[in-house]
Structure 1
């Protein structure tokens, strides 16, 4: 009996020691942690329409932010648009001249904001993590709410996660930005004659100081068509006439072509010829059956300019076109590829004819 009690005490001692050992080695945290799959990083990864942007995000530090605790807003370009630019989840990593960090940070807002809190019909300046300017507007059309960013339309409903919101864009925000509209004009070699006209007319300071402004900039070929085909010709032109010419191309408000869809009263329908980019990336000129409307604006010099805006669909692809009708009735087309160029003080659009008053 004594031997049995001794063995019992021995086993109890061992059990106590083992319990103490296990409790002493217990980890401070649980081995299995709950994963929140509603954070933006996981949502982005699981969205097949945003695979190209997701691939770019995966190459930057933003990926960690999207699975973190901080609230974030993404303006994510959809795959359909990026494929039309020749970009996909594989090729985006190989694009020369495309800074992946800049591309991603341009599409991440610097501060968290729900765009539904913005007032209607007002261009709100919001900044990207890269410091770029975004003019965001909230619209009402056919009793529905829409948002645009620098004239690009946000498609569908926002995708909400536990740490932010994803808005899907039907385009890509430009990679570069200019401090003033004058800097944007000077940066393009196809606009050098209009740049010199600004300088020759003594308007350099004005253009550097302009705020919330849109400039329709004629190409060098357009300037040549009115006899100003060289720097020497511009130097020989009458300064007062040059000043009138230049100021008739300045609209004292910000105007993005895409926003005209929400500010134009459509009054007719018909065919218009425009550049269409298909989902496979092919581009060509074609006639589109759409609708149009006219809007009159007052330019910086006090003269009026008519905006004729068309929009329509070609095989399900939304497209639009802006034509300017000057005081003489001449029509000038806004360039398909050189429009909505953003500066911190406004925007510029290239045109292929000089506006006349």
Structure 2
């Protein structure tokens, strides 16, 4: 991932030690032409003593190194008097002597260049409190040879990260490794030509240091009164939109800039870009990450790093209280379902008009959570053409309400939560989910999935779903003549009102042929329904009725309780065994026939209690 060059620090920022930088680390082998394996240490000398020995007489340095490396050491004649003095002044001599460390050791010349840049006379101008974090920034836990380093970040004893770049030699931040893999009793030394400076700016100062790249972000943070929180709180991770990202948003919203937005408008947007803790790019995993806004952002690592629909273009900029990742788009937090649909304008403008006319806007904006299968404008236009109306204006609220509620499911049901089967809607009827090829809801395709809102989720579909419009008796009649004998039986048993207005019920509905077979089975005295006593007929019909909406996906093998006894169901063969050990079969192509007050499953034999 692209990494910015470290910003040059002025003395005030350096001495205050408040900042943020970046990261992306991995340890892999690299090609190194000298000492690829840690040599055996022949001298019981720790790191500090080794530095002193190299300073006093590099020719007699007791670490076991190659002749070529020793010649380089003698030729360079590096001195570490300032580093040794700094270790003593900071009270770190004991720590360095007792710990197993890798030290990136700046020479006296490197310290002199730093003192000149800071405008100080030497180490006496710095306190132990100022020196300690700097020195710890040069130490890494364990023995890490140059051959173990790879491009990226390495955590230091300071808690911040140094950047390794091996594209041309070995660079640690802006320092070159002049000589590497010098062994000591308790670690290894790499000589560097510059003093490494740890992060010294807080998140706000770091953003300002990128000026003008993040100047709009800084202006927004100040206007929203979040500067103190982001400068002194944390640690935080900030997904920081660039100026270009904000300008694109302003153009989309039709505003001139931050001045045209209130603090109340800016605050939830800005907090949606902030995550608790220091989350470096290597810590990210695909999935949801909670933000200070209370909502989550989605991390996608399948191609680079994406946060929702924004690309991370600069990663791992460290600060004293967190880390910044620059992104190329402003992240907009979820709004309520109605506002989210409006934000897709004009894609869902007809749906929004229908919701308003049906007086459902408050319910869908403030209630929930709900899942909305949202038909596009094109889907509504196709429906209007089919039923011969010009638009929402030609339909009443009473006509629109059951249709709209048939598109709404309780709870936040994301695409990953869906499974083949039936899902009940607020209309009372259920929609059928089919995942065999994409995602189908009844006969509509899900075109856009998982649009998050504060009170639910939206899935865009390409067809308006029409709920059942007939009760159980009307639905049976609509299959005439397939169920004409069943309907006649219901009428004779005086069950029309119960099955038309009550419920919901599930009816296992025998076909006309099933009734004909029953009459033949009963013998020559039973030629028609007229020959069956009303009480007997009522008992038989109620044996086919189950309380509630029981879809095929809800059925389980075993005992099924009806309004008049029980029967046994075997789903492996779609067989019903009644109380008389007679068998009937479910007709697989005629299951789940929905009605306004229930569901019908067709069977091929009348079952008897």
**TM-score (normalizing by structure 1):** 0.50
Counterpart contact for 1:56–1:93, Cα < 8 Å? yes
Q: Give the aligned partner of residue 15 of structure 2.
A: 34
2:425 corresponds to 1:345? no
Which residue pairs with 2:228 in the alignment?
64
Could you say which residue in structure 1 is the equivalent of 2:331?
A: 173
Q: Distance in 1 between matches of 2:234 and 2:433?
A: 50
Give the structure, 1 or 2, with the largest relative contact order (CA under 8 Å, sep 6 or more). Answer: 1
Aligned to 1:85, the other structure's residue is in SS state helix
The 8 Å contact of residues 335 and 454 in structure 2, kept in 1 or not, is answered as yes
Residue 44 of structure 1: how far off its partner (Å):
0.1
Point out the structure with max Rg over C-alpha: 2
Equivalences for 1:50-199 in 2 at 5 Å?
Answer: 50-68=214-232, 70-86=234-250, 91-94=256-259, 96=260, 98-100=261-263, 102-108=265-271, 112-115=276-279, 120-128=285-293, 133-141=294-302, 146=305, 148-149=307-308, 151-174=309-332, 177-178=335-336, 181=337, 184=340, 190-195=350-355
- Secondary structure in 2 matching 1:173: coil
Give the Cα separation in 2 of the matches to 1:65 and 1:38: 14
User: Post-superposition shift, 1:137?
Assistant: 3.2
> In structure 2, how many angstroms separate the alpha carbons of the residues matched to 1:32 and 1:351?
55
Equivalent residues, number = 249
Q: CA deviation at 1:43?
A: 0.9
Range with greater deviation from structure 2 (44-53 or 226-235): 226-235
Aligned-partner SS, 1:136: strand
What secondary structure does 1:209 align onto?
Answer: coil
CA contact (8 A) 1:194 1:218 kept: no
SS at structure 2 position matched to 1:67:
helix
Q: Is the 8 A contact 2:235 2:278 kept in 1?
A: no
1:193-342 matches, within 5 Å, as 193-195=353-355, 208-210=367-369, 213=371, 215-218=372-375, 222-227=379-384, 229-230=391-392, 233-235=395-397, 237=399, 244=406, 246-247=407-408, 253-254=413-414, 300=423, 301-304=431-434, 328=443, 342=452
1:186 to 1:168, Cα distance in 2 relative to 1, 3 A:
closer
User: Quick one: structure 1 residues 193 and 219, their matched pair in 2 at CA, closer, same or farther if it must change by over 3 Å?
Assistant: farther
TM-score, structure 2 normalization: 0.32
Which residue of 2 is the match for residue 6 of structure 1?
Answer: none
Please say if residues 203 and 230 of structure 2, whose CA atoms lie closer than 8 Å, have aligned partners that are also in contact.
yes
The alpha carbon displacement at 1:51 in A equals 2.5
RMSD: 5.0
Residues 159-192 of structure 1 show CA distances to partners (whole Å, capped at 9, x for unaligned) of 22111222333322337733xx367558986533
